[in-house]
């Protein structure tokens, strides 16, 4: 049995391990930095849109409350129903827009990750690594095992910028139509 396990062990290559800090790549690469201002702008515009919508709905609700005393019960019920429908539509619109922004963010991140895998494979081949681990799953390692900076350099050459693509969103269903 010893000769079988000895022969088997001789066939296995010695592990040559590299480590990549994916979060650092997603934070520090040129592609990630190129989209950050666009996402910040989109997030601020979204927050402004939501705030304005909330303000309009508050004013409409206050007006409806004020009119309650002067309207006939049937007229008030009809206006209350219309307000509820408007509020529901506003909520659906906000949720659809949030899904649209989330999808754009995820699509952009996935494009960076797809290119990260390609350049990580190139680094692994160049350094003759047979295992490449994500840093967050490694408890301790030698600093020389970290290939993150080399991965970022290659990724910056391969993908210096990335465009943010907003998917179309059907506000009734909330599903993206790419």
Q: Given this model, what pLDDT does residue 5 score?
A: 57
DSSP secondary structure letter of residue 170? -
Distance CA 87, CA 93 (A): 10
Q: Is residue 161 pLDDT above 60, yes or no?
A: yes
Band the pLDDT of 84: cuts 50, 70, 90.
very high
Per-residue pLDDT averaged across 17-44, rounded?
95
Q: Given this model, what pLDDT does residue 69 score?
A: 84
Residue 173 is assigned to a structural domain of this protein = no
CA distances from 88 to 17, 51, 52 (A): 54, 16, 15
Write down the H helix ranges in the chain: 2-11, 22-28, 30-67, 73-126, 148-158
Long-range contacts for 105-110 (Cβ within 8 Å, ≥24 apart)? Answer: 105/39, 107/165, 107/167, 108/35, 108/39, 108/162, 108/164, 108/165, 109/26
C-alpha torsion sign, points 88, 91, 95, 100: positive
Residue 107 is assigned to a structural domain of this protein = yes
* Pair type for strands 131-134 and 17-20: parallel
Per-residue pLDDT averaged across 52-62, rounded?
93
Q: Is residue 133 pLDDT above 80, yes or no?
A: yes
Distance CA 21, CA 152 (A): 10
What radius of gyration do the chain's Cα atoms show?
Answer: 27
Residue 171 is assigned to a structural domain of this protein = no
Band the pLDDT of 68: cuts 50, 70, 90.
confident
Q: Is residue 4 pLDDT above 90, yes or no?
A: no
Q: Given this model, what pLDDT does residue 173 score?
A: 44
Residue 167 is assigned to a structural domain of this protein = no
Residue 56 is assigned to a structural domain of this protein = yes
Band the pLDDT of 94: cuts 50, 70, 90.
very high
> Residue 133's domain spans which residues?
14-158
In 3D space, the residue among 77, 80, 99 whose CA is nearest the CA of residue 88 turns out to be: 80
Q: Please, what's the b/e burial string for 142-176 (b: 16 or more CB within 10 A of its CB; e: otherwise)?
A: eeebbbbebbbebbbeebeebeeeeeebeeeeeeb
Residue 43 is assigned to a structural domain of this protein = yes
Q: Do residues 39 and 164 make contact, with C-beta atoms less than 8 angstroms apart?
A: yes
Residue 4 is assigned to a structural domain of this protein = no
pLDDT greater at residue 175 or residue 43? 43
Q: What is the percentage of the chain residues whose pLDDT exceeds 90?
A: 76
Residue 139 is assigned to a structural domain of this protein = yes
State the CATH number of the domain containing residue 116.
Answer: 3.30.910.20
What is the number of structural domains in the chain?
Answer: 1
Per-residue pLDDT averaged across 120-145, rounded?
96
């Amino acid at each position: 049995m010893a000769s079988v396990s000895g022969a088997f062990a001789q066939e296995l290559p010695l592990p040559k391990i590299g480590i990549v800090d994916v979060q650092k790549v997603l934070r520090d690469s040129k592609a990630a930095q190129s989209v950050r201002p666009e996402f910040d702008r989109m997030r601020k515009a979204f927050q402004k849109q939501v705030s304005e919508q909330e303000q309009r709905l508050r004013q409409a609700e206050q007006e409806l409350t004020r009119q309650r005393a002067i309207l006939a019960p049937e007229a008030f019920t009809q206006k209350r129903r219309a307000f509820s429908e408007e509020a529901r539509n506003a909520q659906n619109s906000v949720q659809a827009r949030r899904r649209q922004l989330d999808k754009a963010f995820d699509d952009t991140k996935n494009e960076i990750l797809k290119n990260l895998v390609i350049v990580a494979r190139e680094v692994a081949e160049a350094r003759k690594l047979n295992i490449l681990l994500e840093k967050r799953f490694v408890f301790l390692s030698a600093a020389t095992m970290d290939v993150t900076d080399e991965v970022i350099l290659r990724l910056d050459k391969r993908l210096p910028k990335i465009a943010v693509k907003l998917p179309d969103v059907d506000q009734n269903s909330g599903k993206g139509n790419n």
